[in-house]
Amino acid sequence: MGLFSKVKDLFQANTMDLIAKAEDPEKMLNLYVERATEEVHNFQIQVNRALADKIQLEERIQGLNKEITVRSEQAALAVQQGKDDLARTALTYKNQAESSKREYESQLAEQAKSVEDLQDNLHVLSEKLEKAKLERNNLVIRQRRAETMKKANEAVSGLSSHDPLGDFDRMKDRVERMEAEAKATGTMVHTSTIEDQFAELEASKVNSEIEDELARLKAGNKIELNKN
């Protein structure tokens, strides 16, 4: 059977190879299953037609059986009434019906075998179609999982065109630099204040020495004035 050849080839292919070659694997898988479903439907129509032909042959045989019975009764009645020519005619029709019946029975035997084979093939194709649908669903899930994992790996490894986490790192560095600068500025302010305090102490010391010397001078001048 040539049916399902494309589907069979497809489902035997490697999943990653399928993803690499098909622009949209899910769409292609659905298309193949749709085509296979249509082929099974068309095959079902052929089986139904073969079955209808078988039924028609059976009905014709039934009709001939009835005709044979009627012709036999007509021939017997004609003989009873002494009408031999009419009896011969009835028997002739009976023989023709029997000949047709044998021919139809021969055709019916062949048709019955054909219908049986077609129904077996239809059963096999239907099973393959259901298996193909399950395989399609499995491949679609695997494809989606592969795409998700690929995107996740790209995000983690920074292979994507823009890594949002990189912005966090840059902002972290900037904050840490600002904190360091603030600490450095605080240290400078604190150091400057201490130096100013020491400078004030030195200035106070100088002023004290000057005042002491001034006081001594004043005291010396006062002593000189008292002597005079």
Residue 196: per-residue pLDDT: 67
pLDDT tens for each residue of 73-82 = 999 999 999 9
Residue 159: per-residue pLDDT: 53
Extract long-range pairs of 183-189: CB within 8 Å, 24+ residues apart.
Answer: none
| Alpha carbon distance 183, 192 (integer Å) | 14
Residue 55: per-residue pLDDT: 96
- Residue 144: CB atoms within 10 A of its CB come to 12
Residue 147: per-residue pLDDT: 83
Residue 26: per-residue pLDDT: 84
Residue 21: per-residue pLDDT: 55
| Alpha carbon distance 196, 194 (integer Å) | 5
Low-confidence ranges of the chain (pLDDT < 50): 1, 3, 19, 22
Residue 5: per-residue pLDDT: 58
pLDDT tens for each residue of 7-36 = 555 555 555 555 455 468 888 888 889 999
